[in-house]
Amino acid sequence: MADIPNLRSLTADEFTTSFQALGQPAYRSAQILDWLWKKRVSSIDEMSNLPVSLRETLKEKYELSAPTIVRAQGSKDTTRKLLLKLKDGRFVECVLIPASPALYGEQSDRLTLCVSSQVGCAFACKFCASGLLGFTRNLTPGEITAQILLAEELAGTRVNNLVFMGMGEPLANLPNLLKAIELITSPEGLHIGARHLTISTSGLVPQIKKLADHPRQIRLAISLHGATDEVRSKIMPVNDRWGVDELFEALRYWNSKKKQHLTLEYILIKGINDDLEQARILAKRAKAIRAKVNLIPYNTVEGLPWERPSEDHCRAFRDILKNSGISATLRLEKGHDIDAACGQLRLREETNSE
């Protein structure tokens, strides 16, 4: 990719510093931020209240390219999955998820976007299509935030809840992720409250602790998928580096720094991690860190041999948690019919084009 920075990767402070260096008045920074995040222009030439000479200077120093939507699966009233093409020809995905009436009521305006942070993934979680082609590169802050702009344009309404659990491991791209979060939460940017942002990680212990020390009250979800090392290592190679006990020590540190409850994500895979004894152990672990548990029956990935358990078995697993006093939800159907597992659309597009 070209080394020229994207304007939508710059924070308000960076704009101020850049404009001071160019000998421009401070108010120019506010004008450009308004064009970028409120008016959402697609080119520097559209910034009509800037002098022509300044626009030419900006075009020399910056770009304003954005991903394009290649494909959208689903409908307005259901989960919609978007395949986006980046400037370098690579693909990423994001997913629009409307509010569930059962959880939020019929009149809820909650609209969640599942955001990608990398092209591909190096962590090779066994249930996930994102890592099947390996890791390509990190997304820039501008590419992360562009997913929100494109999703809002498609939906015709504001996205008010973000989960960083699309393609890639967010904490492996922590500097760009934190910069994107500054753009997302800033009043000059998208102005989405930090409490409406959730970062999902496969369990990068040092980065969890670093994020715990960050001042924003961001929510954290852990892709756990196994309550013991024996089971989790079958699914999550990262567990061989940071085992379950070390991970939960980091989560206790998180709790000492943050107010929001943790969420443990647990994909139920038939015959792999759905034994009811795992539910009992999971209940004890969740209670120790005051965590909620989100159970997700496995979404079939082409080329992988695993299956989802029966609905009755999923409910039995959930009920063990609930009967132990754990807040547990079971997401039986959210996008199973639109290649919902992370990276499936990208996998199909890139393998078909090679």
Average pLDDT over residues 80-105: 84
Class of domain 68-353: alpha beta
What pLDDT shows up at residue 52? 95
Query: Kindly report the CA angle at 48 between 41 and 15, in degrees rounded to 5?
Result: 65
Distance CA 185, CA 192 (A): 5
Q: What is the distance of C-alpha 100 from the center of its chain?
A: 19
User: 343-353 in b/e burial notation, b at 16+ Cβ within 10 A?
Assistant: bbbbbbbbeee
- Per domain, the residue ranges of the chain are 7-61, 68-353
Percent residues over pLDDT 70 in the chain: 90
Catalytic residue among 152, 314, 342, 350: 342
Q: Is position 125 annotated in a ligand binding site?
A: yes
Average pLDDT over residues 12-28: 86
Q: Is position 116 annotated in a ligand binding site?
A: no
CATH 1.10.10.10 assigned to 7-61: no
Range from 104-108, 138-142, 276-280 carrying the lowest mean pLDDT: 104-108
Residue 82 vs residues 111, 112, 307, 350: alpha-carbon distances, Å: 15, 13, 24, 15
Q: Is position 188 annotated in a ligand binding site?
A: no
Name the 3-class secondary structure at 146.
Answer: helix
* 342 is a catalytic site residue: yes
What letter does residue 156 receive in the DSSP assignment?
A: T
Q: Is 325 left (phi over 0), alpha (psi -120 to 50) or beta?
A: left
Query: Kindly report the CA angle at 100 between 302 and 40, in degrees rounded to 5?
Result: 85
Q: Is position 223 annotated in a ligand binding site?
A: yes
Mind listing the pLDDT tens digit for each residue in 65-91? 999 999 999 877 789 999 999 999 999
Q: Is position 225 annotated in a ligand binding site?
A: yes
Q: Is position 94 annotated in a ligand binding site?
A: no
- DSSP structure string for 96-135: EEEPPHHHH-TT---EEEE---EEE-SS--TT-STTTT-E
Mind listing the pLDDT tens digit for each residue in 291-319? 999 999 998 777 778 999 999 999 999 99
Catalytic residue among 93, 143, 152, 188: 93
Distance CA 285, CA 240 (A): 19
Average pLDDT over residues 105-123: 85
What pLDDT shows up at residue 110? 86
Mind listing the pLDDT tens digit for each residue in 156-205? 999 999 999 989 999 999 999 999 999 999 999 999 999 999 999 999 99
Q: Is position 128 annotated in a ligand binding site?
A: yes
Q: Is position 249 annotated in a ligand binding site?
A: no
* 60 is a catalytic site residue: no
